[in-house]
Structure 1
Amino acid sequence: MTFKSVELGRGGPKIPQLGFGAMSFGGMFGPTDEETSFACLDAALDAGITFWDVANIYGMGVSETILGRYMAAKKPQVVLATKASIINGPPRRIDNSRDHLLSEMEGSFKRLDVDRVDLFYAHRHDPETPIEQVAEVMQGFIDEGLIGGYGLSEVAPSTVRRAHAVSPVRAVQNEYSLWTRLPELGLIDTCAELGVAFVAFSPLARGMFGETSVRRGDMRDGDFRLTNPRFTEPNFSANLRHIQAFRSWAQGKGWTVAGAALAWVMAKGDHVIPIPGTRTAAHLNEWRDAAKIRLTPQDLAEIAQILPAGFAHGDRYGDHQLVAIERYC
């Protein structure tokens, strides 16, 4: 499948407008293994999905190690992004210092079997560290040839503008999907204005926009969704009812549910790049043809009736999950 080719930020490498998020390889949503992960990456390449996103804390290095072994074995031509700044603790904290970012970057390079990455994010912004200082550090990494560009994650539009004034931001990664619409209140537009890619994580709502419904009984102990407000009752049942209506609508069109949900995200602009994740090739194949779906104005109007902005019951994170997430509305 040929996806639309877009820039990863102004002047950045050309990538397909659909990427792949590798968090699940670290076991966040259930057990996995190297063979299954390799088959999933094979399916991504077969689909033409060559923008891969990971982070040092996904499985505490496991996801990066899987990617590194795959890249060493198969030498794929991909655009690679990783992240650092979060220290799990306890307590969880954020470190945006140069020493920490460089040390974590070097660890990521070793696990990924590379000597540079195309994109390196500050995974969260430490409010005690001026974002201008973070931008200066990132520019230094660019000048040293360690990274192609830098990004920010879970930040406000004002933070992006301040950082961009010091050193151009290549990408901003925030949660965005049919049930998480906050970036529409200024962040997506700010990125478009500045020439910054907006990378949408969890565009399938942590599994909710699949061919079958998520079931709490299938979630293993430790799955963070078990304590997430949208996945706890009575919110969970209410959200299932809304999304089942969308599921029926998409399937009535002859589309996969995931494909339709991703087509909606991509329709928000050429700079909007969703990065769905999965552990298996089977699930990836549910959305590999998302670029074939062309939503008409009538389709978009019908979606807006089925899933209006703000339909989701419950906040996207609980208070215990909000460390260093910038809120601006």
Structure 2
Amino acid sequence: MRLILSALLLAAAHAHAQGPAGGLQPSQLALVINDDEPNSVEIGELYRVARGIPDANIVHVRIPNRPKKLDAEQFERLRHDIDSKLGPNIQAVLMVWTAPYAVECNGITAAYTLGFDADQCAKTCRPGTPSTYFNPAPGVMPSDRSMRLSMLLPTESVEQARALIERGKASGFRVPTAGAYFLITGDKARNSRAQFFPPSGAVPNRKLTIHRLREDYIEGKRDIMFYQTGRVRVDKLDSLQFLPGALADHLTSFGGDLLGEGQMSSLKWLEAGATASYGTVSEPCNYWQKFPNPGVLLRHYLLGATAIEAYWRSVAWPSQGVFIGEPLAAPYRRR
């Protein structure tokens, strides 16, 4: 574990001296709006203005009735519709809706970026297909791996979406004094990635303090930039303050079932003030590779990657996962 912290310290020092590893710019992001959903149309326009997305990068599609899940054939038509309207400069896609968020057993963002993985659906608890974008060298862009990254911008509330967009944009103005919280909980089955939690300590040049704790939850913290844990539901979220650009997620089976009620939805993190999150849409079992790797996520974000880049780089087997939030947040990009 000390080696992990040492690597993070070296990465932070390198980032301070050399600049950011993440290179995604608004001109490289496509915005996909569902014209059959009024919130998608309104929020898409808010995002376009806030981030200065070029008009040529706006794609309009029609998905009636907001289904939670698409079958493979429906999805391929949607994917073709999107891709046919994109230029070669596009590195990433932001889908402005909450649902659909699944393609059979795949997360819709994974299915878009990597292609639909039918083999995973034959047995969702089997190991996943490795992502070629897992923990690449700093500076590697999605096109270098012949892919476009993707993320969902949720549309359940226009006001919450507006606040999320503002948090993402505000993250680019300053590096705050912040905390990173990694919790080893009493839920042993959901602690499979705890082996990758960095030890407690300060990260120089980034004003970040790491807290590796044996707790089921934290309460009353006001400095959160990272929060990763393993629980069916995470308590006391309403007592916390997340900083602009904060990343937060919980290892559980159905966090990516965004509108489900069986387990805590990853949307709860955004509602609590985080800027991006991740969850799985079908039973993954507790392979750590199907969830964000804490050390990899921390390293790439500290090196200046955007939220979408850091999250995608941190998941080794992402086919069942869905990435949500504001993709261009980058609090550690060198200014």
Question: What's the TM-score once normalised by structure 1's chain length?
Answer: 0.29
Structure with a larger share of its residues in strand: 2
Structure with a larger share of its residues in helix: 1
Question: What's the TM-score once normalised by structure 2's chain length?
Answer: 0.29
